[in-house]
Copies of this chain bind each other. A is one copy, B any other.
Amino acid sequence: MSGWVKVAGLGPGAEAMVTDQVRAALAAATDVIGYIPYVARVAPREGLVLHPSDNRVELDRARHALDLAAEGRRAVIVSSGDPGVFAMAAALFEALEHRPDPGAFDIEILPGITAMLAAAARLGAPLGHDFCAINLSDNLKPWELIERRLRLAAEGGFAMAFYNPRAASRPGRFERVLDILREGCGPDRLISFARAVTTPDESLLTVTLGEARADMADMRTMVIVGTPDARRVGRFVYSPRSA
């Protein structure tokens, strides 16, 4: 098979955070596949076919990329952030698993700056200690499992990074997350809302769990909870390395 599939992380938004490795893959591609706003970040050029698709069709995208590779084409699936963190890499391997010849495909995952690390950098160093990354969407796992993981993360004194805070299928779910966190971490723990980091729409807010409200997060917000020792210094928030 002369074609290939690369899954590339475009980072959080700023062009200066795209790696050369990802740029080189896009320059070599014949096809770019992905969610509409991510494909829109790729400059059109002669010989490059753009395949933007709507949200929640991850497996279709992955199958399409494998089909293209089998035809000898060079397909890049674009993700925001890092493709390995709640993004397209796992979906590609799910699709690959259903092929009779998974070993025949030339596949490469190209990492990027994932949203939690971009957000953490803008906030200071809230993930400067052991931490958990949890996807709050219950599209692909039971809500009860999310609640259990929140309690265990709180019990362990982990810092926490939450993806998709408002993607839960039923309203009131992020309110419930905040209640569980208040119960497990107390009202004084710092929580940060980092919206659209590295873009012109960026906004940053750090409050205590006692002050936190669900409407502080929307679909473009990363939510980060510090460790029990997390504190403010100047305009920053950080979780100390020691505990």
CB <8 Å contact, A105 and B234: yes
CB <8 Å contact, B19 and A16: yes
- What is the oligomeric copy number? 2
Is A43 an interface residue, CB under 8 A from the partner? no
Chain B residues in 8 Å Cβ range of A125: 83-84, 89-90, 92-93, 109
Is A130 an interface residue, CB under 8 A from the partner? yes
Q: B24, B111, B142: which contacts A118 (Cβ < 8 A)?
A: B111
Q: A21-B16, A97-B233, A243-B140 are in contact. Are A130 and B149 (CB under 8 A)?
A: yes
Interface residues of A (CB under 8 A from B): 11, 14-21, 24, 58, 82-86, 89-94, 96-97, 102-103, 105, 107, 109-114, 117-118, 120-122, 124-125, 127-135, 140-142, 145, 148-149, 152-153, 155-158, 231, 233-236, 238-243
Provide 11 A-B residue pairs closer than 8 Å at the C-beta atoms, listed in order of the A residue: A15-B20, A17-B19, A17-B21, A82-B121, A94-B240, A96-B233, A111-B120, A112-B113, A133-B133, A140-B242, A145-B157
Smallest CB separation, A229 vs chain B (Å): 10
Smallest CB separation, A179 vs chain B (Å): 19
A109 to B111, CA, bound (A): 19
The residue of chain B having its C-beta at the shortest distance from the C-beta of A197 within the complex is B111
Q: B18, B110, B133: which contacts A130 (Cβ < 8 A)?
A: B133
The residue of chain B having its C-beta at the shortest distance from the C-beta of A155 within the complex is B152
Q: B93, B134, B149, B238: which contacts A233 (Cβ < 8 A)?
A: B93
Smallest CB separation, A132 vs chain B (Å): 5
CB <8 Å contact, A128 and B90: yes
A15 to B140, CA, bound (A): 36
